[in-house]
Structure 1
Amino acid sequence: MARTICAIATAPATAALGLIRISGPDAFEIVGPLLKNKNGEAIALPQMRRSVFCRVADEQEVYDEVIAVFYKGPHSYTGEDSVELSCHGGLYVLNSILTLLIRHGCKLAEPGAFSKRAFLNGKLDLVRAQAVIDLIEAQSRAEQKNALSRMEGRLSGRIRALYQQLIDLNSTLLAYIDFPEEIEEPEAAVLEKLKVIRSQLDQLLEGSKKGRLIEEGLQIAIVGAPNAGKSTLLNQLLGYERSIVSARPGTTRDMIAEGCRLGDLKCRLADTAGMRRTQDPIELQGITIAKREAEAAQVVFVVFDGSQEMQKEDYDLAEAYGGAHNLAVINKTDLPIKINEQYIKEKFKHTVNISAQTGAGCSAIDGWIRSRFSVADAAAQGVLTSAMEIQRITEAKEKLTQAIAGLEEGFTPDLITIDLTEAASALGEVTGQTVTEQMIEQIFSRFCVGK
């Protein structure tokens, strides 16, 4: 039988409140006697899922005043008898209560132990368990929405349905192998259903492209001629001064990268050296780095100084980075516009006019990212994000393709069932229906203590 575990579930820092979780077969027996009223008498076991104000105390001393909530299994996060203690958030207080619980029979929980028990007790599948850690680590609205959708079971429900369909089709073929005289030949019907399942796997894999974008974020390079306002734009988008700004051209010689959020996505913004013709070896090195960043980026913001006539460097930048995928940023619109806007709009499908100095127009950049990389609908439905999930779905599709080819070429049903079994196994590994103990340990080791 699993031992009763305990852990501090809140961050290891002083705060107004801290939470201690206890879960396991002896949770009530361990915690109950330690909860006292103001007269030092043990309280009666409270009604489940109702909070009760009390003190945590043993025979010698009082440790804290807490709010306790009891959960009777299986109606708890872990599926076991559980208790949550909302304590004052001082680390000494929390650790003293944790030590008291361990002294009375609890075991200190390992990272992910509570969610692992939820999985083993059928409260979560692996897709939903993965969503828990994704929600904790979310850094953008898209990550948050996708994690919440996955926690609700939308994605795992689709995968489980496909898994069950494969199991049923495989059973049909196996039954035909055993009783060919009693069952009509099923190959044609199985073939059509396998093609439908493969199409649905294609949809999952197509959605995973946005899933990876949600998970990994967007890489953006900011390029432009010297003194176009690249560093000012970086600071404006970040909301604080990260890059040195000067009227002297060529101030930025090295690449500066910082994370931020644009649209629904987390982004990595790279402010680069001004691109111009120069003999300065240090500046040349910075320009080389700038070009490398622009080549690696998914999007390039090309900044033009709108208050100046077009220079040779501006024409070179428009030729190099123009088109439909990048964004032309005409800066310094708080000053009289002298640049050839018509030429820039001919070279770039998308342009915005801003003043990085005042912030005017910068919201249009956020709006462009939101429309250009629309992930809100995908996040709301729940999409694949992890490399393991994508790999297993890909493996399932490959096995289905083999099975379909075999049926079309007239292979015997016993050969087809091998591919279907492996395809179902791959899908089952995504949800945890056919997962190994090693995979379980690997997944839940990523979780924090107390979750």
Structure 2
Amino acid sequence: MILQDTIVALATPSGAGAIAILRLSGPDAITIAAEVFRSFKDKDITLVKSHTIHLGNIVENNKIFDEVLLSVFKAPNSYTGENIVEISCHGSVYIQQQIIQLLLRRGCRMANAGEFTMRAFLNGKLDLSQAEAVADLIASDNEASHQVAMQQMRGGFSNEIAKLREELLNFASLIELELDFAEEDVEFADRTQFKELLNRIVFVLKRLIDSFAVGNVIKNGIPVAIVGEPNVGKSTLLNALLNEERAIVSDIAGTTRDTIEDEIVIEGIGFRFIDTAGIRETEDVVERIGIKKTFEKITQAQVAMYLIDSYQLVNDAEQVSRLKIEIAKIKERFPLKPLIVLANKADKLSEAQKEVILEQINDIHLLSAKQNSGVAELKAQLLSFVNTGALRNNETIVTNTRHYDSLQKALEEVQKVQFGLQSDISADLMAIDIRQALYYFGEITGQVTNDELLGNIFANFCIGK
């Protein structure tokens, strides 16, 4: 895929603003810009140095469209590896469109989604995993996702994969050489060293694969379902967690008839809280639909918080027994999901009553969402479910599903090579598995790719990137 034309797109968000930036990239970017730009100091921008900024007007037939700043970046020292011109104009939508249409008339083409970054990849400025990290960086909305995207864009993940691939490729070359001298029955690849290399590769691959669970959480946030009977304070708790009146609160049971979602960031990790309809037997058709959605949301969530009214447990053995049964049902239905049992409205209880509840029900947490008591401790417990040690130690974390899939396949092929080495199979059969493992390593960084794969990846980018 070789692109020789010159593209243009709005690089800033669409709509009116103080400033808008239009980006051109391609072999004719500078010459096309020179046709419509008139420098206040009569500079010929085709002759200026790279990485310089110039003040002037965008004009056509003596008609001035806007006063702009024009930045010049000459190939190969640019983001795409091509000539790039960026025009900083006033943020009027009318001005933006007029300048873009002028550039299209001069020979530019509107850029496709992600085409600037695709050109950077095709011109060797970024590998494929780094290019994908650009989109993750743009989408990052908390400290942790930003840190992971920055690490990947700087090549942390790529370097680790490239090193493994190079070592495996060296041994593959020796194995292939043995095939050329099969009649002499010689071994060029030291089998002991090869075994050690395979063990090291398997160890690294498993660590990267395991990091995906954390990476996916960092990238997409942790969905937390708040469930319980009506009128126990689920909406009040959501408002307390978010520090705003997001959910409707009233004394009428069944006020929340649909799920309400919002997100907060706790120490760099995003948590998506889902306030659900209360679980109870009801004849109300609308409320029954909401209750059905509640169980769907628990299925989708990674953590469930079961909320009860602590005052109802006081001196009511039947209520305590029923609560234990409900907790057991949820744990049985969702055995792998962490469940936090919360007794709300604890501000109504005496210290003695609190002690009784804590003794009767294991691992129950007392809080008062209305008084904001115990909410900080709840946030700390939610954070404890996330293993951020890798992030603090600056280890590579996998956040991309495509990378995860390729790593899984590469691990499977390397384990086949391990088995072949232990079984002393012929070098030609072992070489097939090694080639396949190298293929999956190459898929991650883009050393092995195709137009369909690139189209799928860059289609998710914004137009100006």
* TM-score of the aligned structures, taking structure 2 as reference length: 0.87
Shift of 1:154: 0.4
| 1:220-299 superposed matches below 5 A | 220-252=224-256, 254-263=257-266, 264-276=268-280, 278=281, 280=283, 282=285, 286-299=290-303
Q: Partner of 2:428: helix, strand, or coil?
A: helix
Residues 1:187 and 2:200 aligned together: no
1:365 match: 378
Shift of 1:272: 2.4
2:454 and 2:146 mapped to 1: Cα distance? 24
Identity %: 32
2:68 match: 66
Shift of 1:288: 4.9
Please identify, of 15-24 and 180-189, the stretch whose mean Cα deviation from structure 2 is larger.
Answer: 180-189
2:446 match: 432
Shift of 1:104: 1.7
Query: Using a 3 Å threshold, how does the CA distance of structure 1 residues 2 and 352 change in structure 2: closer, same or farther?
Result: farther
Tell me the matched-pair count: 447
Shift of 1:314: 5.6
1:344 and 1:274 mapped to 2: Cα distance? 24
Residues 1:32 and 2:46 aligned together: no
Residues 1:210 and 2:214 aligned together: yes
| 1:301-312 superposed matches below 5 A | 301-310=305-314, 312=318
1:315 and 1:341 mapped to 2: Cα distance? 17
Amino acid at match of 2:382: I
Amino acid at match of 1:328: V
1:201 match: 205
Amino acid at match of 1:271: D
Amino acid at match of 2:254: G
Query: Using a 3 Å threshold, how does the CA distance of structure 1 residues 402 and 206 change in structure 2: closer, same or farther?
Result: same
Query: Using a 3 Å threshold, how does the CA distance of structure 1 residues 189 and 13 change in structure 2: closer, same or farther?
Result: same
Q: Deviations over 1:117-144 (max 9, x none)?
A: 0000111111111111112222333322
Please identify, of 215-224 and 147-156, the stretch whose mean Cα deviation from structure 2 is larger.
Answer: 215-224
1:302 and 1:337 mapped to 2: Cα distance? 22
| 1:340-419 superposed matches below 5 A | 340-341=354-355, 343-344=357-358, 347-349=361-363, 351=365, 353=367, 355-375=368-388, 377-378=390-391, 380-419=394-433
> Which segments of 5 or more consecutive residues in structure 1 lack a partner in the other structure?
none
Amino acid at match of 2:141: Q
Query: Using a 3 Å threshold, how does the CA distance of structure 1 residues 346 and 203 change in structure 2: closer, same or farther?
Result: farther
Shift of 1:422: 0.6
Q: Deviations over 1:201-249 (max 9, x none)?
A: 1111111121222334322111233322111112233344332211233
Query: Using a 3 Å threshold, how does the CA distance of structure 1 residues 249 and 183 change in structure 2: closer, same or farther?
Result: closer
Q: Partner of 2:365: helix, strand, or coil?
A: strand
Instruction: State the superposition RMSD in angstroms.
Output: 2.7
Please identify, of 288-297 and 229-238, the stretch whose mean Cα deviation from structure 2 is larger.
Answer: 288-297
Query: Using a 3 Å threshold, how does the CA distance of structure 1 residues 63 and 318 change in structure 2: closer, same or farther?
Result: farther
1:341 and 1:255 mapped to 2: Cα distance? 35
Match of 2:169 among 154, 158, 167: 167
Match of 1:83 among 67, 82, 85: 85
1:210 and 1:271 mapped to 2: Cα distance? 24
Query: Using a 3 Å threshold, how does the CA distance of structure 1 residues 125 and 349 change in structure 2: closer, same or farther?
Result: farther
> Which segments of 5 or more consecutive residues in structure 2 lack a partner in the other structure?
332-336
Q: Partner of 1:16: helix, strand, or coil?
A: strand
Amino acid at match of 1:399: E
Amino acid at match of 2:104: I
Query: Using a 3 Å threshold, how does the CA distance of structure 1 residues 342 and 46 change in structure 2: closer, same or farther?
Result: farther
Alignment check: 8 A CA contact 1:140 1:261 kept = no
Amino acid at match of 1:332: K
2:155 match: 153
Query: Using a 3 Å threshold, how does the CA distance of structure 1 residues 114 and 222 change in structure 2: closer, same or farther?
Result: same
Please identify, of 70-79 and 367-376, the stretch whose mean Cα deviation from structure 2 is larger.
Answer: 367-376
1:316 match: 322
2:97 and 2:320 mapped to 1: Cα distance? 61
2:304 match: 300
Query: Using a 3 Å threshold, how does the CA distance of structure 1 residues 168 and 217 change in structure 2: closer, same or farther?
Result: same
Please identify, of 117-126 and 69-78, the stretch whose mean Cα deviation from structure 2 is larger.
Answer: 69-78
2:334 match: none
Q: Deviations over 1:155-201 (max 9, x none)?
A: 11111111112211100111122236565563333223112211211
Amino acid at match of 2:139: E
Amino acid at match of 1:267: F
| 1:118-157 superposed matches below 5 A | 118-157=120-159
2:284 and 2:64 mapped to 1: Cα distance? 69
Alignment check: 8 A CA contact 1:78 1:114 kept = yes
Residues 1:99 and 2:106 aligned together: no
